[in-house]
Amino acid sequence: MNNHVFQQVKQAGVLAVLMIDRVEHAVPLANALLAGGVRAMELTLRSDAALPALEAIRAATPEMIVGVGTVLTPEQVQAAQERGAAFLVSPGLNPRVLEAAAKIDVPFAPGIATASDIEAALEFGCKTLKYFPAELLGGLPYLRAIAAPYAHLGLEYIPLGGVKQSNLAEYLAEPLISAVGGSWLAPNQLLHEGDWGQVEDLARAAAETVKQR
Ligand SMILES: O=C(O)C(=O)C[C@H](O)[C@H](O)COP(=O)(O)O
């Protein structure tokens, strides 16, 4: 599977995970993240606004790397790719969905929580995997344990779920970690209040931590 976009996500270091329910929030939000130094984001398909938001962000801020998350069906793979998603992510691993992504060569990071999940992902050539829900599964000690047998394969992981500014540096210091994702960068409350200044501040703090990597 086509994995080069994940090298760009790795360089970005952090991935802002967003639940956008109003398309008009999309561009100011992307601008605030970029102003703070965060240049990768994932729009989750949990609302109808996600795909129109993707189009709006791509048109207004081409420098932002925009992926789509919560991709649960082959139809969603197609729809996200048609609108220009740079990469796709899912909470779990669905072979039908991965097959659809492989067919059209769109980079996909499936969710993994066990060694069996990692092996299923390998079947589809995925090299960057989403470790979800990272903190509840046991954080880095658990990831190191399940990743160890596959160390020679060069897999990299994006932890999501319970990661925030306070544990960001710890995750980024681990060589298995490609980039770190989470919703802490753009909490729903700030979106609803349109507090883009605060989003920019959160992004700046995260970007500073990435620089010290
Ligand atoms: O549905 C998906 O595809 C997702 O990406 C889910 C997110 O990974 C988590 O919701 C992020 O977890 P928090 O940062 O703890 O809020």
Tell me the per-residue pLDDT of 142-199, one tens digit each, with 9 for 90 and over. 999 999 999 999 999 999 999 999 999 999 999 999 999 999 999 999 999 999 999 9
Does residue 168 have its Cβ closer than 6 Å to ligand 1? no
Nearest CA to ligand 1 atom 13: 161
Nearest CA to ligand 1 atom 1: 70
What pLDDT sits at residue 2?
Answer: 57
What pLDDT sits at residue 7?
Answer: 96
CB atoms under 10 Å from CB of 198, counted, come to 15
The parts of the chain modelled with pLDDT lower than 70 are: 1-2
Range of the domain at 38: 4-211
Does residue 182 have its Cβ closer than 6 Å to ligand 1? yes
- Report d(CA 42, CA 28) in Å as an integer: 15
Cross-strand bridge partners of residue 209 = none
Supply angle C-alpha 201, 36, 39, rounded to 5: 135
ipTM: 0.91
CA of 186 to the centre of ligand 1 (A): 12
Alpha helix positions (H), 104-157: 115-123, 134-137, 139-147
CA of 70 to the centre of ligand 1 (A): 8
Q: What are the respective helix, strand and coil percentages of the chain, to the nearest 5?
A: 55, 15, 30
What pLDDT sits at residue 1?
Answer: 55
The one-letter amino acid at 55:
E
Does residue 91 have its Cβ closer than 6 Å to ligand 1? yes
Catalytic residue, chosen from 130, 135, 156, 200, is 130
CA of 201 to the centre of ligand 1 (A): 21
For the question of residue 99 being annotated catalytic, the response is no
CA of 24 to the centre of ligand 1 (A): 22
Catalytic residue, chosen from 42, 135, 156, 200, is 42
Does residue 44 have its Cβ closer than 6 Å to ligand 1? yes
For the question of residue 127 being annotated catalytic, the response is no
By three-state DSSP, how is residue 132 classified?
coil
What pLDDT sits at residue 95?
Answer: 98
What CATH number corresponds to the domain at position 193? 3.20.20.70
State how many domains the chain has: 1
CA of 183 to the centre of ligand 1 (A): 7
Residue 106 in tokens: 């769109």
